[in-house]
Amino acid sequence: MNLQEKFAYMATGKPYNDLDPVLISARDQATAKTNAINATNDPAERARLFTELVGSTGADPVVNPNFRCEFGTNIHVGRDFYANYDVVMLDGGEITIGDRVLFGPKVGIYTSNHLFDPTERQLGGCIAKPIMIGSQCWLAANVSVMPGVTIGENTIIGANSVVTHDIPANVIAAGNPCQVLRPITVADKTGFVGQDFS
């Protein structure tokens, strides 16, 4: 199978061979591209390189070093995406991120999982499930999002959370495993909008 056929097969949710030479080569290419992203001090150049690496992106992505991904082409981000330092995305499955999403430092997005049986795992057995993150979400520092999760729009995931199941829109959630703490309401407005800070 070529890489596109391999990705199409992986998207079915069936186990696949993570040690396939086609995937190893694709990972090596992504590593070279992320090395280039992480080597430059020019934010505009990082944005350009990131746009070339991922499957699709909206306008004005900001990606701080160190950024790492498995393949890149299975990542789709909306406009005004911001990734703080040390973000990792394992994109064996599709990662879809909406508009105006903020990632704190050390966020990890993991679509892939090794198989549980030790013999299958040692032979390279993996499975991938897509991850979807809605628009205007904020994932705080050290958040890990596990395979198959959907996070609804406008949601905040608190620092150090491990997201193992779907989280609805318009809530604050945190913990390990991540749980909804409360909805975001009008009481969360501080009056910041409309203030003159000059």
* Model pLDDT for residues 150-188, shown as the tens digit of each residue: 999 999 999 999 999 999 999 999 999 999 999 999 999
Phi, psi of 47 (to 5 degrees): -60, -40
- What is residue 101's predicted lDDT score, i.e. its pLDDT? 98
Look over the chain and give the mean of its residue pLDDT values, rounded to a whole number.
95
pLDDT above 70 (res 20)? yes
**Residue 90 contacts residue 70 (beta carbons within 8 Å):** yes
- Hey, what's the torsion of the CAs at 135, 136, 141, 145, to 10 degrees? -20
In the chain, % of residues over pLDDT 90: 94
| pLDDT tens by residue, 32-52 | 999 999 999 999 999 999 999
Element of type H or E holding 38: helix 21-39
104-108 contact pairs (CB < 8 A, 24+): 104/138, 104/139, 104/140, 104/141, 104/142, 104/143, 104/159, 105/141, 105/142, 106/141, 106/142, 107/83, 107/139, 107/141, 107/142, 107/143, 107/144, 107/145, 108/143, 108/144, 108/145
Q: Tell me what the mean pLDDT of segment 123-139 comes to.
A: 97
pLDDT above 70 (res 198)? no
Q: Tell me what the mean pLDDT of segment 3-24 comes to.
A: 94
Peptide bond just before 177 cis, omega within 30 deg: yes
| pLDDT tens by residue, 47-63 | 999 999 999 999 999 99
DSSP state of 66: P
- What is residue 83's predicted lDDT score, i.e. its pLDDT? 96
Q: What is this structure's pTM?
A: 0.92
Closest CA to 53 of 31, 25, 79: 31
pLDDT above 90 (res 120)? yes
- What is residue 145's predicted lDDT score, i.e. its pLDDT? 98
Residue 114 designated active-site:
yes
Name beta bridge partners: 69: 89
- What is residue 161's predicted lDDT score, i.e. its pLDDT? 98
Peptide bond just before 41 cis, omega within 30 deg: no
- What is residue 192's predicted lDDT score, i.e. its pLDDT? 79
Out of 27, 48, 79, 114, the active site residue is 114
87-115 as b/e: b if 16+ CB within 10 A: bbbbbbbbbbbbbbbbbbebbbbbbbbeb
In the chain, % of residues over pLDDT 70: 99
**Residue 113 contacts residue 131 (beta carbons within 8 Å):** no
State the amino acid at position 38 in one-letter form.
N
| pLDDT tens by residue, 78-99 | 999 999 999 999 999 999 999 9
